[in-house]
Amino acid sequence: MTICFATNNTNKVKEIQALLGSSVNLLGLADIGCAEELAEDQDTLEGNSLQKASYVFEKYHVACFADDTGLEVEALAGAPGVYSARYAGPQRNAGDNMNLVLKNLMGKDNRKAQFRTVITLVTAQGIHPFEGVLKGSITDNKKGTQGFGYDPIFLPNGFNQTLAELDLAEKNKISHRALALQKLVLFLKQHE
């Protein structure tokens, strides 16, 4: 079985290929000759992941999965959500995004938040969505240098370190992306 992961990150492709084993041949966008930027202009994580996977499936005729991830803060009515990457503007700067979340939470007691990843697999047999959620809270300030995005201000439930303070192996065991990916891998193994 050959499947494309809608990414240009070869390290992500290798990482997921290792989880899938030899029964699945995993390709990245470059492997199928897709050089264009994939649109992400939907108003939900589900919409963006479906948009990317469907585009690749329809144009390149290969089963494809794509993901989208957002930070959802309860006191901010679920924001930044689908706009997580560009919350503070089109420059997509992680520092600016974190600063805006912290500013918008000033004076608020409720700091509950969650990271949510949606992976959508599009095949000739249909559309298959998978979700992973990591619950936690937003800290008062940034801590740690590992990871990316909002990791320095996100404290997972049951931990006393932010995602940016955890080592990569520990983060990958609990992350929203890893949880969604585990569901995808299980599905693919059941449908070989």
Taking CA atoms, 93 is separated from 39, 40, 87, 96, 185, in Å, by 19, 17, 9, 5, 31
Name the one residue in this structure whose structure tokens are 């370190």.
161
What ranges in the chain are assigned the alpha helix state H? 10-20, 45-60, 94-104, 168-174, 176-190
- Distant-in-sequence, close-in-space partners of 43: CB < 8 Å, separation ≥ 6: 82
- The verdict on whether 167 is a catalytic residue reads no
The catalytic residue among 41, 68, 109, 140 is 68
**CA pair distance 86, 92, nearest whole angstrom:** 5
CA distance 52 to 41: 10
- Residues assigned a catalytic role: 68
